[in-house]
Amino acid sequence: MSSQFDRIFEIAEKNEIDPVCGMSVNPDQPSGGSHLHEGTIYYFCANSCRIKFSESPVYFLENFGKHGH
Ligand SMILES: [Zn+2]
């Protein structure tokens, strides 16, 4: 049981979450590139996500992490 959790944790550690669509992105090879906002680099699954984020980063960051409610 613990090994399964370890594996999930390992995957989560290696990947960044695209704040626009919530997909996990490999920060070594982000399909949509990256964007620096207030000292934090965000990674994107697609160029369209990166463009949306760059147009209104505050909107996506405010909604990011509010899932489930
Ligand atoms: Zn995306």
Half-sphere exposure (Cβ direction) of 58: Cα atoms closer than 13 Å: 0
pLDDT of residue 69: 47
> How many A from CA of 54 to the centre of ligand 1?
13
Which residues on neighbouring strands pair with residue 24, listed in sequence order?
Answer: 17
* Residue numbers in the chain where pLDDT is lower than 50: 69
pLDDT of residue 13: 64
pLDDT of residue 64: 76
> How many A from CA of 45 to the centre of ligand 1?
4
pLDDT of residue 29: 93
3-state DSSP call for residue 11? helix
> How many A from CA of 6 to the centre of ligand 1?
26
> How many A from CA of 64 to the centre of ligand 1?
12
pLDDT of residue 63: 84
pLDDT of residue 6: 73
Q: Report the distance separating Cα 57 and Cα 54, nearest Å.
A: 6
